Structure 1
Amino acid sequence: MGNSLQEQLLKAGLVKEQTLKQARSTKRKQVKQTGGQPTAENQAARAAAERARAEKVERDRELNRQRQEEAARRAAENEIRQLIHSHRIVRDKGDLAYNFTDGSTLKRIYVNKDQHAKLAAGQLAIVRQDTFYELVPAEIAERLQTRDAALVLVFNRAKDETSADDPYAEYQVPDDLMW
């Protein structure tokens, strides 16, 4: 490490000592002529290096921001997944088919009579968790809607408001209607 490049080249026999002395004296003369000031070439190189460093800092800052956003998104997804998993209602031994839509496809889950009545009354909701469908209480469905409304597929809220121009407002739909 103590040897400079010039000394290493001299020991390897690639340059002569006279050439090294001449290069050193030329460099000293240049520095003396410019009064110790950096030359225009050096200033341009320093400016380019400074720009490159600033660009790298900006790229690193942007990359860190993207990583933080991705981590926050993953944390929110895990929180939603945990919320659904911890509050889901077991629907084993269901004998009634409950039909609903997921996007443009018609889906069916089997629930018992009590769960079917609660779904119709708006006390339960159907949510999508990955590729599965779960029943959750209405409070959890409301919390999920604030975070990601696309996950809540069926949530029958009580509709007290009737539109003034609705021609069927006076006709009530039965809660036990099967389709």
Structure 2
Amino acid sequence: MAKANPLQEQLLKAGLVKKSKVAEVAREQNRARHAKAPAGPSDIQLEAERARAEKAERDRALEAERKAQARTAELRAQARQIIEDRKVPRSGDSEYRFTEGNAIRTVLLNDDLRRKLSSGALVIARIDDRYELLPRTAAEKVRERDASMIVLDHGQASAGEAEAITSDDDAYYAQFKVPDDLIW
């Protein structure tokens, strides 16, 4: 056994500690004196950690983008299904022309379908390279999922434009007073 300190020797003589316990404490003290202090993280470790963090962030961004694309594709598929399920059968030989983007498109309709389309009860939706008529309720469901599939909707567009035109016209004609006794 290595030279013990005087306190340990006194404790041993007094019988307060066992010889094995003194040896164990001496070994721990010796290990603590000669052990290397834990070194801080090296530059290589810091660079590796930063690279791991950047990769994790890129992976999260890519996953979020993939989820967004999957959600968009799912909504588009739902809209296509609604159009296929709820389309109104077309018949007739009267051409109805409308614009989509910069092109003029034509669908064949009968007079009843033309009236419903003009009143806004029916809407024209595009699916792939063809056009289908939808009832307004189905068109609203399609619009919630993919608004770009709705090509022509007289009911929605005309309501906002009509109010703007009416209010502009009312403001202009308010300056002209019409006599109460005017008889036509």
TM-score range for the pair, normalised by the shorter chain length: 0.5 to 0.7
**Match of residue 167, structure 2, among 164, 168, 171:** 164
- State the TM-score, normalized to the length of structure 2: 0.63
Q: Which amino acid aligns with 2:110?
A: N
Equivalent position of 1:37 in the other structure: 38
Distance 1:101 1:52, change over 3 A: same
Aligned position for 2:101: 103
Mapped to 2, the partners of 1:54 and 1:97 lie a distance apart of 61
Q: Which residue matches 2:69?
A: 70
Evaluate the alpha carbon distance shift between residue 163 and residue 149 of structure 1 in structure 2; reply closer, same or farther with a 3 A threshold: farther
| Shift, 1:148, TM fit | 3.4
Percent of pairs identical after alignment?
35
TM-score (norm 1): 0.64
Name the residue aligned to 1:25: none
Cα shift readout 1:32-66 (whole Å, capped 9, x = no counterpart)? x982534x7x6111111111111111111111111
**Between structures 1 and 2, the one with greater helix share:** 2
**Does residue 1:136 correspond to 2:153, yes or no?**
no
Query: Which structure 2 residues correspond to residues 1-179 of structure 1 after superposition, within 5 A?
Result: 35=36, 37-38=38-39, 43-91=42-90, 93-157=91-155, 159=159, 161=163, 163-166=166-169
CA contact under 8 A between 2:93 and 2:109: conserved in structure 1?
yes
Counterpart residue type for residue 50 of structure 2 = R
Q: Is the 8 A contact 2:78 2:145 kept in 1?
A: no
Code of the residue aligned with 1:89 in structure 2: it is V
Amino acid in the other structure paired with 1:43: S
Q: Which structure is larger by alpha-carbon Rg, 1 or 2?
A: 2
- The CA deviation string for residues 122-150 of structure 1, in whole angstroms up to 9 with x for no partner, is 21111111221100001112233344333
Q: 2 CA distance for matches of 1:47 and 1:155?
A: 59
Note the aligned Cα RMSD (angstroms): 2.5
Structure 1: 5+ residue runs without aligned partners?
1-32, 168-179
